[in-house]
A and B are shown apart, each in its own frame.
Chain A
Amino acid sequence: QQQVKQSPQSLIVQKGGISIINCAYENTAFDYFPWYQQFPGKGPALLIAIRPDVSEKKEGRFTISFNKSAKQFSLHIMDSQPGDSATYFCAATPRNTGGFKTIFGAGTRLFVKA
C-alpha cells in the first residue's frame, strides 16, 4: 500500500517532442506528489510538485497532471531537450504533521535525441 509504481523504466524522445512519465499509487493518505530529476553522480533535484486538491500544475516546460479518482499522476515535459536527459523519479508523501516519510518510484531514464 506504500508503493508508488512508475512507468516506463526508460524512454527515448526526439528533441522537441513530449516526454510523458506515469505513476500510480494505492495509499489514499498521500498528500504531496513531487517529481525529482537526477543526473549521474548528483542528488535528486526537486522539479515540480502537486497536492491532491489540484488536477494540473505547470511550471515552464514541466506539467503535472493529477487524477485523484484513478490514483495516478504524470509528468509531461514539453519541447524536450537533450539537456533533459536524466533519471526522473515520482514520489509521494503521506499526510502527517509529526514528521513525514517520502516514498519514491523506481525511476525513469529519459534520453532525448538531438
Chain B
Amino acid sequence: DAGVTQSPTHLIKTRGQQVTLRCSPKSGHDTVSWYQQALGQGPQFIFQYYEEEERQRGNFPDRFSGHQFPNYSSELNVNALLLGDSALYLCASSLNARQAIYEQYFGPGTRLTVT
C-alpha cells in the first residue's frame, strides 16, 4: 500500500518564477492538505482540497494556489516566487474531511530553494 508520494524531491527556482509541486494521496484517501515548513519551524497550513475544491485556507497570499484532480491527486502552484518561499512543502492526506476524520499522513516533502 503506497503512502503519500510527492514530486519532485528537490527544486531550485529563481525569484519571480513559477513552480508546480505534485502530490498523490495514500490509497483510499480523498482529502489533501498542503503545508509549508520553513527550516527549524513547524508546518504551516496552506490549504486543503477535497471533492476537487479548496475547503480551507491558511494565511497565505493568492500567489499560492492549488488543484485537485478526480483521482484525488493534487498540485500546489506558487507564482512570482520570493526568497522567503524557500521551504519544505509537505502534502498530507486524510480519509474524509467532510466526516471530521482528522488523521493525516504526510509525504516526504519537496524542498524548494528560491535564489
Q: Interface on B for A, CB 8 Å cutoff?
A: 4, 31, 33, 35, 40-45, 48, 50, 55-58, 90, 92, 97-100, 102-109
Contacts and interface: CB of A to CB of B under 8 A. Distances in A.
Interface residues of A, number: 28
A17 interface: no
Contact of A100 (B56, B90, B106): B56
A100 B43 contact: no
B97 A99 contact: yes
Contacts of B99: 97
A101 B100 contact: no
Interface string A33-45: 0101000011111
A100 B48 contact: yes
A46 to B, nearest CB: 7
B45 A99 contact: no
